[in-house]
Amino acid sequence: MGSSRLRVFDPHLERKDSAAALSDRELPLPTFDVPYFKYIDEEDEDDEWSSRSQSSTEDDSVDSLLSDRYVVVSGTPEKILEHLLNDLHLEEVQDKETETLLDDFLLTYTVFMTTDDLCQALLRHYSAKKYQGKEENSDVPRRKRKVLHLVSQWIALYKDWLPEDEHSKMFLKTIYRNVLDDVYEYPILEKELKEFQKILGMHRRHTVDEYSPQKKNKALFHQFSLKENWLQHRGTVTETEEIFCHVYITEHSYVSVKAKVSSIAQEILKVVAEKIQYAEEDLALVAITFSGEKHELQPNDLVISKSLEASGRIYVYRKDLADTLNPFAENEESQQRSMRILGMNTWDLALELMNFDWSLFNSIHEQELIYFTFSRQGSGEHTANLSLLLQRCNEVQLWVATEILLCSQLGKRVQLVKKFIKIAAHCKAQRNLNSFFAIVMGLNTASVSRLSQTWEKIPGKFKKLFSELESLTDPSLNHKAYRDAFKKMKPPKIPFMPLLLKDVTFIHEGNKTFLDNLVNFEKLHMIADTVRTLRHCRTNQFGDLSPKEHQELKSYVNHLYVIDSQQALFELSHRIEPRV
């Protein structure tokens, strides 16, 4: 915002309005109820309040008053909502300050109030006969329209979550019927009614014109086709949620398969068989609990379950060695699998990494960062997409180390390192900073960086390129090199998500959420401002950049083979280059 803001810990409400915003209406004075809002008013008004003017002239100057702008700093949830509704404009375009305040509130309200509390508060504001006992009758429809505008914005932001929330469903049905009741008395609500029907996927059978107030019948008000497509469950979370299914090949290595929770064993086995280059009919999946109990999965069995995730693993084994728990080993055969990457085009490989990462990044809801940071009860189901991208970043890092350390031939290993350096450079060029960081960190893994014989044979131009790439991951000055480079990149682009989460966490842990029992809204504004980075990165969309006729390449990138044990990686490292 244009003017300086109050420090985070100042528990006041400062209201700032620009001259441009007031040019066509009477200048309002900041009058908020104490104790619900503490605020900055005129000097010497009361010892409890203080004044901070942003103008260069005296306070009794009209120009000075017009140049002041005020922002919400703290307040009770109810009063913040009340202030927000008061400041909303019904024009197509909101002024920047009000638009930001509305977005801040909707992004962060779950921190200080439940969805049920918000719904009840909105219903009270919509149905109130008077506001503070002094509202003119002509202002009633205007207030109702403001509430409906806020609800529309709320639906747009949470459209993928609200259908799963019973409080939200009941609220939307209730307020929808209230609008139906009111539209005859206040025909101006017809526009909002149509917008509601459009958002909720409802279809009207009648229009207002068909039923005048003189002929209206209560029964007719609700003769709408309440198909409510939007409000219907689109399948339970267990049917539609996607996770990374880890199918272990050895004790410390697995194939990562992105699959729906409803996937059956036959679907997963097909992917794994292709990855490890075995005939599908020769393999089977077995679920093994940490207590040692085995259960062979039949073709139509569900592979993924919450109980299994917490108590065991899924292994693939050969049917001819059914008595052996772990028939696969890190032998020459598994090392040969890692050679496949040498025949792949580095630009195309980077493109597939970007396509996969973008599909994950583009599915993340902005609110997931809020839930992830504040660790609210039940937040796991609200951070699924974010967790997938974070997990993918970790797996790409492990994949780089795995491929290099499974290569026992020095010459081939040098080629692999060069290839990964080129892939990292391509990821940067394609604005995929998530995989870029992961690959650079994979090359800097201790088990890889200690391979002195390998690094000595890397050509100078590749060492120079890698040094330049490394400089972007330099954490000094709060990752200034990365932040400057990323800021210059035009969207669409994929940020390094762990660092973005670190920024949100830093704001959260460094500032109190409540000050004197008031919501520290300045803190929430800073968090919302950081979260909006996702929105900026997705301003534009990547087109279909998949290389044609490269299904094998896509399958390779989508289902990475990794070793997830640092000890196992170090053992491989010392095996291929023993300590001198």
Contact 459, 419 (CB under 8 A): no
**Phi, psi (deg, nearest 5) at residue 314:** -110, 130
Name every residue whose Cβ is closer than 8 Å to that of residue 534 and which is 6 or more positions away in sequence: 361, 364, 366, 369, 495, 500
Q: Which fold has domain 14-231?
A: Son of sevenless (SoS) protein; Chain S, domain 1 (1.20.870)
Over its length of 580 residues, how does the chain's per-residue pLDDT go in tens digits?
Answer: 444 343 333 334 444 443 333 334 333 333 323 233 222 233 333 332 222 333 333 333 333 333 334 567 888 999 999 999 988 887 766 678 888 899 999 999 999 999 999 999 999 999 887 555 555 556 889 899 999 999 989 988 888 777 677 888 889 889 989 999 999 889 999 888 888 787 776 544 444 444 344 444 443 333 333 334 444 433 334 455 778 888 888 878 888 888 887 888 888 888 888 888 888 888 888 888 766 677 888 888 887 764 455 557 888 888 776 544 444 555 555 555 556 888 899 999 999 999 999 999 999 999 999 999 987 544 567 888 999 999 999 999 999 999 999 999 999 999 999 999 999 999 999 999 999 999 999 999 999 999 999 999 999 999 999 999 999 999 999 999 999 999 999 999 999 999 999 999 999 999 999 999 999 999 999 999 999 999 999 998 877 666 666 788 888 898 999 999 999 999 999 999 998 7
Q: How many residues does the chain have?
A: 580
Question: What's the one-letter identity of residue 384?
Answer: A
Question: What's the one-letter identity of residue 18?
Answer: S
- Alpha-carbon Rg of the chain, whole angstroms? 29
Question: What's the one-letter identity of residue 496?
Answer: F
Q: What is the largest CA-CA distance in the chain?
A: 98
Give the integer Cα–Cα distance in Å for 276 and 296.
Answer: 19
520: nearest Cα among 529, 511, 528 = 511
Give the integer Cα–Cα distance in Å for 39 and 34.
Answer: 8
Give the integer Cα–Cα distance in Å for 188 and 211.
Answer: 15
Give the integer Cα–Cα distance in Å for 103 and 157.
Answer: 9
CA atoms within 13 A on the CB side of 53: 15
> For strand 312-318 and strand 242-248, is the pairing parallel, antiparallel, or unpaired?
parallel
| Per-residue model confidence as pLDDT tens digits over 73-97 | 888 999 999 999 988 887 766 678 8
Give the integer Cα–Cα distance in Å for 423 and 315.
Answer: 31
Per-residue confidence (pLDDT) for residue 280, from 0 to 100: 86
**In CATH, what is the architecture of 335-576?**
Orthogonal Bundle (1.10)
Given CA atoms 170, 175, 180, 182 in this order, what sign does their dihedral have? positive
**Tokens (6 digits) for 176:** 């929808």
Contact 13, 83 (CB under 8 A): yes
CATH number, domain 237-329:
3.10.20.90
**Tokens (6 digits) for 276:** 């490890």
Contact 421, 459 (CB under 8 A): no
**Tokens (6 digits) for 107:** 């992004």
Cβ-count burial of 412 within 10 angstroms (0-12 exposed, 13-18 middle, 19+ buried)?
A: middle
To the question of pTM greater than 0.85 for the whole model, the response is no
**Tokens (6 digits) for 456:** 């000595």
Do 14-231 and 335-576 fold alike per CATH? Answer: no
Domain ranges of the chain: 14-231, 237-329, 335-576
Distance set, CA 109 to CA 76, 123, 313, 392 (Å): 11, 16, 38, 29
384: nearest Cα among 535, 560, 534, 243 = 243
Name every residue whose Cβ is closer than 8 Å to that of residue 124 and which is 6 or more positions away in sequence: none
Contact 242, 259 (CB under 8 A): yes
**Phi, psi (deg, nearest 5) at residue 241:** -65, 140
Give the integer Cα–Cα distance in Å for 258 and 355.
Answer: 14
